[in-house]
Structure 1
């Protein structure tokens, strides 16, 4: 009995050890690279005696996180909400327009060029116009974050909805499937890999949009804190704020990747 229990423990611990080893094998190089860059950064700051107000070292940035934790977090949440709401609004509008374009060639010919034109306008040029129209509240920041998400999702969603092979559509017609059934069971399923590829891009760019909007006209948020720290030569706080904004983008990207892993079990050859 004891030998059997020992064997079971060995059997159960083997897969766990293998998973840990596999995780280290996949993530180890990235962790080592990050540690190496941090050590190099600190070594350059120490070696060349760079003033803190020009380029703080990692230890200075860590102290800035500790000393300004309340300020950082109070400005984190407005940027988080602006980015999240912009992400949701911009992608929702893009998906609805993509569905319209697939079902109406006239609508695509009419509005697709307008979407391309809007995308060519630098977001830094659009931001002041929206701030003048909507004021310094949440509305212009959400719109700007949504605009920066909109075009990649529109392009990928249109491509995904049209990526169905003619043979599959012919099969659905032979099976007497309705237009709605064809759309929901074939086109939507075909478009999901393309959609999530765009959502991964949008999950990071929406943070950029929110921060740019805060630069133009805001007294709160990570963007406003970046401007305040820059003008007052508070470099450790500036670096800490930038890293916090990067962590927000990584968080949103990870949530989209998690959703993709749960919803999509296959990808078409055109999606990598």
Structure 2
């Protein structure tokens, strides 16, 4: 009896009983999904750059913009690399860009954190959602340029105004996405937590937030260009500095090469950051097997 129990299993039975092949298969599928996500994101980024350049050159040609005012890719390249003062031009553009990125980070985190907190409050209290969501939509319909004087009057020409103006631009699209994601949790999962005595907070932590991951990542992605737009508005309307503050001076001084270069800098930065976040989103969702829900 002892010899029978100690006898090794047949190879086919041993392979079927071992979880190793299944684990290897899952890891291989996750790796393939990650590679597909990376390849798709890089291809999208390359096609976007090509499309932007084609639209840029095509618009100048179709509308017959004067070369004195409208600058093409070659003019921007010469301004940065071919002119005698190109080194100073690059240093100036990068210093202004860093200021704008700092302002963008302030608005990005302010708007995204507020959106997440408000969405969680909406998920915990339907009454709060019914009371505050119409107010949020009404506030969203007011042009930010019209609200800017009031914001500056209340918060001054400081980082607080940058956080408010940038946060408003980021807040509403992110809020809609996160609220939708929190509500996408399967009702059966919510019922299961309730049956076992879980509170609304437990349901939020254990079910709603994990289910909302694709929507949360999408909110982060769309908030990146929104934060840059908010920073440009804040610099132009309130605090000055950065690319947003410099654009008005370039227009007044008829420095159109500098103007177009500044626009190219901020557009390229927005595209790069957007696609980096999109790449991170695709990789995370592919690794977690949630690509189909993105």
TM-score by length of 2: 0.73
The answer on whether the counterparts of 1:89 and 1:146 sit within 8 Å (CA) in structure 2 is: yes
Query: Number of residue pairs matched?
Result: 250
> Structure 1, unaligned stretches of length 5 or more?
1-17
Q: What SS does structure 1 have at the residue aligned with 2:174?
A: helix
* TM superposition shift of 1:247: 2.0
1:64 and 2:64 equivalent? no
User: Map of 1:156-171 to 2, 5 A cutoff?
Assistant: 156-171=177-192
1:234 and 2:255 equivalent? yes
The corresponding residue for 2:214 is: 193
The corresponding residue for 1:9 is: none
Q: Deviations over 1:54-78 (max 9, x none)?
A: 1123221112234211111111111
Q: What SS does structure 1 have at the residue aligned with 2:68?
A: coil
Runs of 4+ in 1 over 3 A off after TM superposition: 25-29, 31-36, 38-45, 173-181, 266-269
The corresponding residue for 2:113 is: 92
The answer on whether the counterparts of 2:96 and 2:242 sit within 8 Å (CA) in structure 1 is: yes
Q: Deviations over 1:236-264 (max 9, x none)?
A: 11111011111221233134224423433
Q: Deviations over 1:69-127 (max 9, x none)?
A: 11111111111011111111111011101111111122112222211111111112122
1:256 and 2:273 equivalent? no
* TM superposition shift of 1:160: 1.2
Q: What SS does structure 2 have at the residue aligned with 1:54?
A: coil
1:223 and 2:244 equivalent? yes
Q: What SS does structure 2 have at the residue aligned with 1:164?
A: coil
Match of 2:125 among 104, 107, 115: 104
Measured at CA, do residues 135 and 29 of structure 1 come closer, stay the same or move farther in structure 2, by a change above 3 Å?
Answer: closer
**Distance in 2 between residues matched to 1:231 and 1:84, nearest whole Å:** 28
Q: What SS does structure 1 have at the residue aligned with 2:184?
A: coil
> Structure 2, unaligned stretches of length 5 or more?
1-34
Bigger CA radius of gyration: 2
**Distance in 2 between residues matched to 1:163 and 1:137, nearest whole Å:** 39
**Distance in 2 between residues matched to 1:151 and 1:43, nearest whole Å:** 34
Measured at CA, do residues 77 and 170 of structure 1 come closer, stay the same or move farther in structure 2, by a change above 3 Å?
Answer: same
Measured at CA, do residues 27 and 125 of structure 1 come closer, stay the same or move farther in structure 2, by a change above 3 Å?
Answer: closer
Q: What SS does structure 2 have at the residue aligned with 1:55?
A: coil
